[in-house]
Amino acid sequence: MLFINRLFSGGVAVPHRKDTAEIETVVMDIPSKVIIPMAQHSGAPCRPTVKTGDIVKVGQLIGESDAYISAPIHSSVSGVVKRVEPMLYASGHLVMSVEIEADKKQELSEDIKAPVVNSREQFIEAIRRSGLVGLGGAGFPSHVKLSPPKDKKIDYLIINGAECEPYITSDYRECIEFAPYIIKGIQLALDMLEIPRAIIGIEDNKPKAINLLKEKSKNDSRISVYSLPSRYPQGAEKTLIYTVTGRKVPPGKLPADVGCIVFNVNSISFMAKYIETGIPLIKKRVTVDGNVVREPKNVEVLIGTSIGDVFEFCGGFVSSPYKVLMGGPMMGIAQYSLETSVIKNTNAILAFDKKEGDLPPETPCIRCGRCATVCPMNLLPQEINRFVMAGRYDELHKYHVLDCIECGNCSYICPAKRHLVQSIRLGKDAVRRNAKKA
Amino acid sequence: MTEIGIPVIIVSGLGLLFGLLLSYASKKFEVKPDEKIEIIRGLLPGANCGACGFTGCDLYAEAVAGGAGINLCPVGGMDLAEKLAEIMGKETAACEKYIARVMCKGTWDNVSIKYDYDGIVDCRAAAQMAGGPSSCIYGCEGMGSCKKVCLFGAIEVENGLARIIEEKCAGCGKCIAECPKGIIKMVPARSEYSVSCSNHEKGAVARKNCKVACIACQRCVKECPENAITIVDYCAVIDPGKCVNCGKCILVCPTGAISKYTGYQ
């Protein structure tokens, strides 16, 4: 095992709260209906290929797009299509979705067969068909990541198992339960893309996962396992690349520009599973936790299941939830309805009572500068906040507002409890809008 | 004494020389400003709102003196256009007075609240959070971003709804650019009736989200003697160019989505 002393600037030591880490993943019962949104990835949304009344089977294609940056969407249950119309999505907006009433027979579609993969092109095409997107949270279509421009030499495949957000343990459970698949997926990607080395990065608060993966990969000299310092946001793409390789991704550039491709452990092990079985991405392990959930645990959920059903499966709520989050407490999106469905890149759903979930009132900035010291991108959140609140959007580019990764460190550390991330998000929106106008 | 005396004499001599040169040059090469520009600038309202299409009143004054249209200033309106026509020796061009109107009646009594919002008090910030705390995603959020940009104090926010005080509205259009929902529209001031709803959901959904939503029932469309009302995406729109202010539509509207505005006379 390699220990690393290199550490990105900024970052905070958030409480881990990984209480669900040692509980084995439970497969959830098939829900009576699923609502599958047509935009579960960054890029162009899909258009539905089924209509009301159609009979669909598990793994059948129900949404696709001609755009390059997009990923096809498959049915997670067998049953009848009830509705095809805009429905509530995790962001709170309405997105074109397909509602399927499940017949609970889970008949597999005839289209499912293990793909033949002998070349780079076949591999990338197979991954595109599988509907795989970045399962770490960003949801970037994987086949796009796998095909970097020809002139960019890739020399590192980085596997992200850092899982730096509090509560979430779904990546950890993948390492413990499916370590052979992770290694198989890495070997497959290394062979197909002709990359010389792979590094698995895991935070040092998960020694069991580190030792297990090291054990499984000892016969392959191309793969090394790094123990990373536990510091949020260690699992952010740019900070991870810096910690394991010492390379800095310049603003506005991609990891491929510094010779790296980064995949989440879930994504890479899914690749191996898909090549073996041919079953597309239709289920996801989700950490269900928070202080009002009766039985916190990791649940394997069919995509499209409503979060209300998942909470119900975990014993329901001890008391009525005050705040429900999709994602971790640092970056997750608050939900106002339990009807939103689990999508491809959902890795946790958390529910808290008023004591845990309430935000303290905002007070004036005391100019302590702690937000600037914890920012992993070396930005000045207090200055950006000041300019945004004054409506001076045209000066924001000087403060590199678009480089913000919205990790939430500044808001977390702020003693005045200012809404720093929200103001930065507002600033980003304004800068993008002005750029479009110009 | 001479050690300090010589520099003093040199510096004051130079000062005197340059002073004389500059005062000579300023007389010799003087450019007389166009008197018209100053007079016009004095007549303009001085709000620098930019509604004329020029950056501030100074530039519009120059443009008018240079031959630009005299009826571009909505703040000054017809009075100003007449005065400018006199100065420029042009014919008075018609200048229709326009005012802004919030096409929403979604006060907290009419809509329900989806979630408690405790973030930044700004409409655009709230709109990023699932379209704002109001159950109607098309409606006013009542955070007052429009009120902040209004130079004329013509916007009030009461009970979660922005309202334009029509007698104060100059029609500069700043609020329209600011509203993230795009529910503020410019209408001719003489038009008294507007459909105060921007909801484009189907009738049943719209009604569920807001008590006074337009449900696209077509009754006003059939009632209107001038055929001035059309339904666009499940929401009625009155064409002010055809509307004769008869007020028949407001009588048949089952939800009360159509309002009468009499603030501007």
Instruction: Give Cα B114 distance to the centre of its chain.
Output: 30
| CB proximity list for A42: less than 8 A, separation 6 or greater | A69, A133, A138, A139, A140, A141
Measured between CB atoms, does B190 come within 8 Å of chain A? no
What architecture (CATH level 2) is domain B98-260? Answer: 2-Layer Sandwich (3.30)
Taking a C-beta distance cutoff of 8 angstroms, is the pair A133, A142 a contact? yes
Domain spans, chain B? 35-88, 98-260
Domain spans, chain A? 370-437
> Mean pLDDT lowest for which of A7-11, A190-194, A235-239, A286-290?
A7-11
Cα–Cα nearest to B123, from B157, B100, B99, B152: B157
**pLDDT recorded at residue A306:** 96
Residue B216 banded pLDDT, cuts 50, 70, 90: very high
Query: In this predicted model, which residue has the larger pLDDT, A430 or B92?
Result: A430
Q: Please, what's the largest Cα pairwise distance for chain B?
A: 102
φ and ψ at A260, to 5 degrees?
A: -125, 150
For every residue of A390-435, DSSP letters joined together read TT-GGGGGGGTGGG-----HHHHH-TT---HHHHHHHHHHHHHHHH
Give B48-77 pLDDT, tens digit per residue.
888 888 888 989 988 888 888 888 888 888
Measured between CB atoms, does B122 come within 8 Å of chain A? yes
Measured between CB atoms, does B177 come within 8 Å of chain A? no
Give A253-282 pLDDT, tens digit per residue.
899 999 999 999 999 999 999 999 999 999
- What mean pLDDT is reported for chain B? 89
Residue A326 banded pLDDT, cuts 50, 70, 90: very high
Question: pTM here?
Answer: 0.86
CB contact under 8 A, B119 and A422: yes
CB contact under 8 A, B125 and A334: no
**pLDDT recorded at residue A373:** 95
Query: For residue A1, is pLDDT > 60?
Result: no
Which residues of A make CB contacts under 8 Å with B?
91-94, 334, 336-337, 359, 361, 389, 391, 419, 422-423, 425-426, 429-430
**pLDDT recorded at residue B94:** 72
CB pairs under 8 A between A and B: 36
A327-344 mean pLDDT: 93
| Residues of chain B contacting residue A361, judged by C-beta atoms under 8 Å apart | 118
CB contact under 8 A, B120 and A334: no
Give A287-298 pLDDT, tens digit per residue.
999 999 999 999
CB contact under 8 A, A429 and B137: no
Nearest residue, CB atoms, B124 vs list A93, A336, A429: A429
φ and ψ at B187, to 5 degrees?
A: -130, 155
**pLDDT recorded at residue B77:** 80
CB contact under 8 A, A391 and B129: no
Percent of chain A beyond pLDDT 70? 99
Determine the residue among A338, A352, A429 to mutate to test chain B binding: the one whose Cβ has the most chain B Cβ atoms within 10 Å.
Answer: A429
Query: For residue B148, is pLDDT > 50?
Result: yes
**Smallest CA–CA separation between A81 and chain B, in Å?**
21
Cα–Cα nearest to A402, from A369, A368, A430, A371: A430
Query: For residue A2, is pLDDT > 60?
Result: no
- What mean pLDDT is reported for chain A? 93
Task: Give the span between the Cα atoms of A162 and A136, in whole angstroms.
Answer: 10
What is the CATH number that goes with domain B35-88? 1.10.15.40
**Smallest CA–CA separation between A338 and chain B, in Å?**
12
Query: For residue A438, is pLDDT > 80?
Result: no
**pLDDT recorded at residue A3:** 56
| CB proximity list for A220: less than 8 A, separation 6 or greater | A183, A187
**Does the interface predicted TM-score (ipTM) exceed 0.85?**
no
**Smallest CA–CA separation between A336 and chain B, in Å?**
6
For every residue of B173-233, DSSP letters joined together read -HHHHH-TT--EEEEETT--EEE-----S-HHHHHHHBTT------HHHHH-TT--EEEET
**pLDDT recorded at residue A4:** 62
Nearest residue, CB atoms, B131 vs list A92, A422, A423: A92
The CA–CA distances, whole Å, from B196 to A230, B138, B167, B192 equal 55, 12, 18, 12
Using CA coordinates, name the residue in chain B closest to A336: B115
| CB proximity list for B72: less than 8 A, separation 6 or greater | B51, B52, B53, B54, B60
**pLDDT recorded at residue B86:** 86
**Smallest CA–CA separation between B199 and chain A, in Å?**
14
